[in-house]
Amino acid sequence: MPLYKTITPQPHTKVLIWKIDEPFDVLNKDISLTPHCQNRIDSMKSEMHRRGFMSIRHLLKEVSYDDRDLWYDDFGKPHLYDGNQISITHSYNFSAIIISNQQIGIDIEKQREKITSIAHKFVHSSEEHFFNNEQTRISLLTIIWCVKESLYKLYATPGLSFKDHIKITEVDFSNNRIKSTINYKGKRDSYELAFIEFEGFTCAYVIP
């Protein structure tokens, strides 16, 4: 399938989402990989992961980048050689990237019942009041997880806790906006994020 959705939250920020309908052989066509990434994909045993990996390369191609433009630091955070910021995510049959000239993060997750059993690990007591009749518990838990994962990717700092250091401070369901803070080692930063829900999935991303 071609590009599923494009969102431009700001003039220099773009979100691209791909629905992975194609088999690996189709996704592998006309995509050139670096030797390092070729070795990575050759070592992947999961067909789903292989297809997700290649769909990201198609998203890069949509914005005039390719595999050689991408590098990863010691924490596994992706970067672009031209200085623009990038964040990458993949869940089942959807993948996405966000590219900006400022710090960003993105996450996609499938909405699953399983998330209710791990909510105590990432939801702080100060966030419980956001649960209401407007959203099912699974929906809101998935939104909160995606928000915190997006900020974790942006911050890329070992020791950062979803539950203790990343807090949701405001949720605007009518506009699909969330405000959050990261309070870590004496430093406090505030962020605004957007979220969307589609086909049983949730995507959240940082708005610079």
Domain ranges of the chain: 3-104, 108-207
Of residues 180, 181, 176, 182, the one with CA closest to residue 203: 176
pLDDT given for residue 150 in this prediction:
98
pLDDT digits (tens, 9 = 90+) for 114-168: 999 999 999 999 998 888 756 688 999 999 999 999 999 999 998 999 999 999 9
Q: Alpha helix locations (H) across the chain?
A: 24-27, 35-43, 47-62, 119-122, 137-155
Please identify which residue in the block is written with the tokens 């203790």: 164
pTM: 0.94
Q: Would you say 163 and 118 are in contact if contact means Cβ atoms under 8 Å apart?
A: no
pLDDT given for residue 134 in this prediction:
60
Please name the CATH architecture into which domain 3-104 falls: Alpha-Beta Complex (3.90)
Residue 135: other Cβ atoms inside 10 A: 16
Mean pLDDT of the chain: 94
Q: b/e for 147-179, b at 16 or more Cβ within 10 A?
A: bbbbbbbbbbeeebebeebbbbeebeeeeeebe
- Look at residue 2 and tell me whether its pLDDT is greater than 90: no
pLDDT digits (tens, 9 = 90+) for 179-188: 999 999 999 9
Please identify which residue in the block is written with the tokens 């049959």: 93
